[in-house]
Amino acid sequence: MNMISFIQKRIDISQKSIENTVKLLNEDHTIPFIARYRKEMTGNLDEVQLFNICKLKTDFEEIQKRKEFIIKSIDEQGALTEEFKQRIENCFELTLLEDYYLPYKKKRKTKASVAIENGLEPLAKILMAQKPISDLTLLASKYTSDKVLSVDDALQGAGYIIAEWINENNYVRSNLRRFFQQTAVLESKLIKGKEEEKEAQKFSNYFEFSENLKHSPSHRFLAILRGEKEGILRVKVKVDSEEALHIISKHIIKTHEKVIKDQLLLAIKDSFSRLLEPALSNEVFQKAKESADQIAIQVFSSNLKQLLLQSPLGEKRILAIDPGYKSGCKLVCLDENGNLLHNDTIYPHPPQKETKESIKKIKSLINAYKIEAISIGNGTASRETERLIQSIAFDRPLKVFVVNEAGASVYSASKLAREEFPSYDVTVRGAVSIGRRLSDPLAELVKIEPKAIGVGQYQHDVDQTLLKKELDAVVISCVNSVGVNLNTASKSLLSYVSGIGEKMAENIVQYRSEMGAFSTRQDLKKVPRLGEKVFQQASGFLRIPTSENPLDNSAVHPESYSLVMKMAKDLGVKLGDLIRNKELIQKIKLNNYVNEEVGILTLEDICKELEKPGLDPRTQVKMFTFDPSLKTIDDLKPGMKVPGIINNITNFGCFVDIGIKENGLVHLSKVCNDFITDISTVVHLHQHVEVKIIDIDKERKRIQLSMID
């Protein structure tokens, strides 16, 4: 099976699309570039489909690499037959490959290897042959020595060898593996003496818990693992041992001779308890962990995408407030481009309660810096600060927003923040981040490690390499779908643009600071070490609003500029007259411009861009107000209906901020009247909703909500 067949067997995409995608990937084209500018070649595959092909391509290459190593290793041992080599080459399952390799893998000293050294392998072979033996004691006595002191020692040593053979038997392992996959039970118990610990109560549902491992939802599996990690729970995987022994015996035992049968049964029990059960328990556990990780990462990725693509306020002058009590509220004033103009601190809340002075200071800053909107972090003292702002009579209408500040503290202490604001402390940097998140969430959030943004569950418990890879792919997709202003983008934002990366982003920013703003996309080629390949991959995603060529501020790729110029010429108009002129654009006869490299799909994309060049796909930001009567969990009563904002989505429901310290949970069954399995088809992050209070557990600080009706 070649790579194309391997991929096609696992994904419902045509052979031609897969072949062309693999070719493009091998030529170092990026997924955003392929999805946007090579639609004819791929058959209009989207980024998700392209990412899946890329992943399967990597899987195939890893399997091939492992097969080459195994074949070489077995060949060097002189044990590789042509038939065995063919079997390995035709295998595309890593677990089965490892089963094939197991007997030939270099092992540390084992009970079986010691027994073989002691000359007991011939005895083991006689027992496995299962031919009638008149006197087992007499037979075994022939294998005693200064290292094998008795008949019992000889039989035990032979049993160890047989146990290892059983463990390495492909048929036994595959059948037992299937048995484990179907019937393994995940069991968790409270570790004695831990019940009084405060953290233990979070895991009270799992103090005495068991369920079929294959039916365990990812969030529950990961919760149990966290309980084990924190030393609260003891976790194990169990199967019916008697049934497992029966599966092995059925394949191994072919004799009715009691004396041989008894020896083989002892070896089977030893093989299962000492070798097979630990290995297969760990294998199915790890598979379940991989599956749970993948599901949790998918949820996190979906949430992250929604968060990154949330509505920007745009280029406005912003007063950002990082609220606090004793340490005060940090204020920063930002201009239209997010540059810091002024910073200050007020103390309107207890213990200082300098309310009048604080209001005076806020009004003064609003007027002095011509502020158009106010951004308040949603952390400590957020609601009190919001009420303070709403109580102020400003000279003109101002928009007030509460912004999710998750990760702002991570950014404020980062190297990047220190480089941006070397003269300011972490409190100023954090407040700046809160303000910039309102004007352009994407541009600001890319500065923070994705898992620190806090829109998933168990992000610290899943495979960190896989998490980073998947989340980076989401950030890259979002950045390139929106496009980036080449003259204002930060190094962090530029690094996610197709084909650029961290080092090239640094070169671009350095060139920009030394030579001034870029006038055209072609100026990019003047950046040191930025060659044709990088230009090809990146240029279509970079925008220059001030360029004389209006196409430089669109998603039309420079490779298509001459084509657009020809369209304008054929219509008898200048390029500038064609842009945004829907009537003229509709007169373009697309079939006249189809050639070997450009098809209808690309031409349709070009026309969409000509109608609305550089259109931001993100929606406009909306105002929201919490119920002012709610201040703490004590203000809640079952049956109340209150407004809220969805601030996290999981597989089992969504969490809603209702304006108090604690978030409420809407369980999957309470999201809507219809039966749903995928909550993301019904709700999205930062959605404004009305919820009904169902239950309040003040002791555990838990609030149950419903969105039905």
Sign of CA dihedral 12, 15, 18, 22: positive
677-695, pLDDT tens digit by residue? 888 889 999 899 999 999 9
Q: What is the pTM of this model?
A: 0.87
pLDDT at site 366: 97
pLDDT at site 413: 93
Mean pLDDT of all residues in 391-395: 94
Q: 């392998």: which residue's tokens? A: 121
Task: Provide the pairing of β-strand 318-322 with 373-377.
Answer: parallel
* 3-state DSSP of 13-81: CCHHHHHHHHHHHHCCCCHHHHHHHCHHHHCCCCHHHHHHHHHHHHHHHHHHHHHHHHHHHHHHCCCCC
Specify whether the CB–CB gap between 87 and 100 falls below 8 A. yes
Closest residue by Cα to residue 223 from 213, 233, 236: 233
Specify whether the CB–CB gap between 498 and 30 falls below 8 A. yes
pLDDT at site 693: 97
Classify 483 as helix, strand or coil. coil
Percent of the chain with pLDDT over 70: 100
DSSP state of 555: S
Averaged pLDDT score across all residues of the chain? 94
Q: Name the helix (H) or strand (E) containing 362.
A: helix 355-368
23-38, pLDDT tens digit by residue? 999 999 999 999 999 9
Instruction: Classify residue 322 as exposed, middle or buried by CB count within 10 Å of its CB (0-12, 13-18, 19+).
Output: buried
Please, which contacts does 93-100 make with residues 24 or more away whose CB atoms are closer than 8 Å? 94/63, 94/66, 95/177, 95/283, 96/170, 96/174, 97/63, 97/66, 97/67, 97/70, 99/168, 99/170, 99/173, 99/174, 100/70, 100/170
pLDDT at site 699: 86
Sign of CA dihedral 175, 178, 180, 184: negative
Classify 302 as helix, strand or coil. helix
- Give the whole-angstrom CA distance, residue 489 versus residue 472: 18
As separate numbers, helices (DSSP H) first and strands (DSSP E) second, the chain gives 30, 15
Spatial neighbors of 696 by CB under 8 A, at least 6 apart, are 633, 636, 637, 638, 702, 703, 704
Task: Provide the pairing of β-strand 233-238 with 484-485.
Answer: unpaired
Specify whether the CB–CB gap between 435 and 318 falls below 8 A. yes
pLDDT at site 622: 86
CA distances from 546 to 428, 486, 539, 550, 626 (A): 32, 11, 15, 8, 41
DSSP state of 272: I
Mean pLDDT of all residues in 637-647: 95
Closest residue by Cα to residue 438 from 510, 522, 508, 372: 372
- Give the whole-angstrom CA distance, residue 367 versus residue 361: 10
pLDDT at 300 over 80: yes
Classify 151 as helix, strand or coil. helix
DSSP state of 133: -
- Give the whole-angstrom CA distance, residue 215 versus residue 418: 48
Mean pLDDT of all residues in 68-87: 96
Task: Provide the pairing of β-strand 641-650 with 688-697.
Answer: antiparallel
Percent of the chain with pLDDT over 90: 89
In one-letter notation, the amino acid at residue 626 is F
pLDDT at site 457: 76
Instruction: Determine the straight-line distance between the first and last CA of the chain, rounded to whole angstroms.
Output: 54
Mean pLDDT of all residues in 433-448: 95
- Give the whole-angstrom CA distance, residue 709 versus residue 706: 8
Specify whether the CB–CB gap between 676 and 669 falls below 8 A. no
pLDDT band at 536 (very low <50, low <70, confident <90, very high): very high
pLDDT at site 406: 85
Closest residue by Cα to residue 695 from 662, 647, 661, 659: 662
219-243, pLDDT tens digit by residue? 999 999 999 999 999 999 999 999 9
pLDDT band at 18 (very low <50, low <70, confident <90, very high): very high
668 token code pair: 């999957």
Task: Provide the pairing of β-strand 688-697 with 653-657.
Answer: unpaired
DSSP state of 202: G
pLDDT at 456 over 80: no
pLDDT band at 197 (very low <50, low <70, confident <90, very high): confident
Closest residue by Cα to residue 337 from 356, 320, 370, 314: 314
Classify 190 as helix, strand or coil. strand
Mean pLDDT of all residues in 133-145: 95
- What are residue 654's phi and psi, to 5 degrees? -130, 150
pLDDT band at 705 (very low <50, low <70, confident <90, very high): very high
pLDDT at site 23: 98
Mean pLDDT of all residues in 161-186: 97
For residue 285, the Cα-to-chain-centroid distance in whole angstroms is 20
Per 3-state DSSP, what percentage of the chain is helix, strand, and coil (rounded to 5)? 55, 10, 35
For residue 504, the Cα-to-chain-centroid distance in whole angstroms is 25
Spatial neighbors of 675 by CB under 8 A, at least 6 apart, are none
pLDDT at site 228: 96
333-342, pLDDT tens digit by residue? 999 999 999 9
Q: 């955003």: which residue's tokens? A: 32
